Chains A and B, each alone.
Chain A
Amino acid sequence: MKYLVSFRNAFYSTIAYRGNFVLRLVTVSLQIGVAVFMWQAVFRFSGKGDIAGIDPLQMTYYLIIVNLLSLIFSTSLIFKFSQLVRSGNLTILLLRPVKLLVQAFFEYVGLSFPYLIIYGFVLVVSSETSSQSFTEILMTLALFAIIYITFFLLISAMSLVSFWLIQVWPMRPVINALFMLLGGQAFPLQVLPQTFRWLEYTPFALAGNQLALLSLGKVSSVQMLLVFLASISWSLVFLILIKELWRKGIHAYEGVGS
């Protein structure tokens, strides 16, 4: 229950600033608009009915979903944690009898909850084009949950560099570029040559590209299994990394300021 309150507070905080919330949605809508028009042009001038097995309507849904996913799979945790270390406010959290990683996870879910609702709505609408069975929908949701945890663990591990790197803002464009390229935010990774197809199993690709394709029913059972195994493997790697970075970082933490 104590963690559910953290989730609730994070959710309330997200919607506390209505203007910012709406502005974020408008920004993403513009990004989606640009990507959709660009791909419509590609379809029209190439004269092809589908590209990498995706038709124009599915591509539109793909771009909407993948850009929404970029809101859900937020990297803000890195910068929030950095601020806590820089200001010394991490001290307050360290002195509470809670498991910080678990609390951070519930906060993470709370912060992205409004976008999860929108995502759910888009999924229902797009399901008409995917013709997924009930079992497939359940598997998609289960994979979504596993990948969500994997991505949270990745972001948590990255945030821990704040113990040593006082300014983490230079990481922001790098992370955005990674999501844009590997996450498939600009184009589905399936259009890449076979040599680069392994990129589909990197954490950013799992969170963006694969989940968007899953929602459209474009992932086979074998691929689902591979996605599942990749996600579990990455999670284990990140968990070990978090444990080690935390152990070393907490000794480096000075709790600056009085």
Chain B
Amino acid sequence: MTKSEKNLQAKRISFSYMTYEKNSGLLGSLHDFVHRRKRAVHAIHDISFSINSGEIVGLLGPNGAGKTTLIKLMTGILPVNEGKIDAFSGINPFEKSSAYLKRIGVMFGQKSQLIWDLPPIDTLIMLREIYQIPKPVFEKRLSFFTKQLAVSEQLQIPVRKLSLGQRIKFELICAIIHYPEILFLDEPTIGIDVSSQSNIYRFLREINKERKMTIILTSHNTKDIVALAQRVIIIAKGEKIFDGTPNALISEHASQQIIEVTTDSPIEPLPIDLIELGDCHYQFLSNDSAQLPIALAHILSLKRRDGDLDEILVGLFSKLEGKK
């Protein structure tokens, strides 16, 4: 498989669903019982992209931007309303064909595929049978994965007795035990300590390099994106607003240097372009305002520095929030 081969292609896809708004209080509840106010949510709107084999793509966006919905569309959990998703040149993910499901691996940080009452090894043996992995190959892989992620000793312990971090590591092993061609990771480092995070990053980079495994991940932890992603797609309010490398994202917003301000008292109300970092400690993008958004008399210190990905995203997202 060549590096330029397309694994996934989304052509002008849109997805919307119906939800309802619930009134509060007794009267509201009674009203809802008789008449429910429905509302259409346009979760994804006219998004196009293609992902090549072996790429590591990070999906970023504020809460409710549509990242997880996009993953659900790509994996085939949800059907697109408009447009088309084409996987491996000709497969429609929503058909959930065995041919497609065998080639993908999915890990949702907040959903578990481990059997709660049994040790992880039982779930893994079940996956070995489902994906028809020869026993010696399975054992070799399992030994390698558990060693890399430092969970060899927890294989026989019931899942309910494991820590969150250990469970997440086993979830990851479950997602890759069959060496999928595309690995979808939704919040892969949720609840994981810093040293385990770096373990996971190293491990994922290694299998991406060795197996040319395409990795598509969403995370609120920008460390995940910085450590792994070769490409970033930013989604906001269901629309794609950026598609490029993390460096391109930083350089595109490099002109927006960060000004950190310490004041003598809390600022209330907080101006829209000001972000609170701590007690009397704020920051804003230097080109957001021609003037300081704080009265000079309250400023104790000022510091200017270049923004990192985290800050660029915070600035970008708060701008989008302001436009709402």
Interface residues of A (CB under 8 A from B): 1-2, 4-6, 9, 12-13, 16-17, 87-89, 91-92, 94-98, 251, 253-255, 257-258
The 9 listed contacts between A and B (C-beta, < 8 Å) are A5-B126, A9-B118, A13-B118, A16-B118, A91-B77, A94-B77, A95-B101, A258-B108, A258-B186
- Indicate which residue in B17, B96, B98, B129 contacts A94 across the interface (CB closer than 8 Å): B96
Given A255-B77, A258-B186, CB of A88 within 8 Å of CB of B111: yes
| Contact B110–A16 (Cβ < 8 Å) | no
Given A13-B115, A255-B72, CB of A5 within 8 Å of CB of B125: yes
Distance of A61 from chain B, by nearest CB (Å): 34
| Contact A98–B130 (Cβ < 8 Å) | yes
- List chain B residues, Cβ under 8 A from A89: 111-112
| Contact B122–A95 (Cβ < 8 Å) | no
- Indicate which residue in A2, A12, A13, A251 contacts B129 across the interface (CB closer than 8 Å): A2
Interface residues of B (CB under 8 A from A): 17, 68, 72, 75-79, 96, 98, 101-102, 104, 106, 108-113, 115, 117-118, 122-123, 125-126, 129-132, 158, 186-187
- Indicate which residue in B79, B102, B126 contacts A9 across the interface (CB closer than 8 Å): B126
| Contact A258–B129 (Cβ < 8 Å) | no
- List chain A residues, Cβ under 8 A from B126: 2, 5-6, 9
| Contact B77–A97 (Cβ < 8 Å) | no
Q: How many residue-residue contacts, CB under 8 A, span A and B?
A: 72
- List chain B residues, Cβ under 8 A from A96: 101, 130
- List chain A residues, Cβ under 8 A from B129: 1-2, 4-5
Which of chain A's residues has its CB closest to B116's CB?
A13
- Indicate which residue in A92, A253, A254 contacts B108 across the interface (CB closer than 8 Å): A92
- List chain A residues, Cβ under 8 A from B76: 94-95
Complex CA–CA separation, A89 to B115 (angstroms): 12
The listed residue with most B CB atoms (<10 A of its CB), out of A4, A94, A251, A255, is: A255
- List chain B residues, Cβ under 8 A from A92: 106, 108, 111-113
| Contact A91–B111 (Cβ < 8 Å) | yes
Distance of A243 from chain B, by nearest CB (Å): 15
Q: What 5 additional pairs, Cβ within 8 angstroms, besides A9-B122, A9-B123, A97-B102?
A: A91-B77, A97-B98, A251-B79, A255-B72, A258-B109
Given A5-B126, A5-B129, CB of A258 within 8 Å of CB of B104: no
Which of chain B's residues has its CB closest to A89's CB?
B111
Distance of B101 from chain A, by nearest CB (Å): 4
- List chain A residues, Cβ under 8 A from B112: 89, 92
Complex CA–CA separation, A8 to B33 (angstroms): 44
Given A5-B125, A255-B72, CB of A91 within 8 Å of CB of B108: yes
| Contact A12–B131 (Cβ < 8 Å) | no
Given A16-B118, A255-B72, A255-B78, CB of A95 within 8 Å of CB of B106: yes
- List chain B residues, Cβ under 8 A from A95: 75-77, 96, 101, 104, 106
Which of chain A's residues has its CB closest to B110's CB?
A258
Distance of B232 from chain A, by nearest CB (Å): 19
- List chain B residues, Cβ under 8 A from A94: 76-77, 96
- List chain B residues, Cβ under 8 A from A16: 117-118, 158
Given A1-B129, A92-B108, A96-B130, CB of A254 within 8 Å of CB of B17: yes
Complex CA–CA separation, A92 to B108 (angstroms): 8
Complex CA–CA separation, A95 to B110 (angstroms): 15
Distance of B66 from chain A, by nearest CB (Å): 11
Complex CA–CA separation, A5 to B112 (angstroms): 18
- List chain B residues, Cβ under 8 A from A13: 115, 117-118
Which of chain B's residues has its CB closest to A14's CB?
B117
The listed residue with most B CB atoms (<10 A of its CB), out of A2, A95, A257, is: A95
Complex CA–CA separation, A12 to B116 (angstroms): 11
Complex CA–CA separation, A9 to B125 (angstroms): 10
Distance of B235 from chain A, by nearest CB (Å): 14
Complex CA–CA separation, A17 to B160 (angstroms): 12
Which of chain A's residues has its CB closest to B158's CB?
A16
| Contact A2–B130 (Cβ < 8 Å) | yes
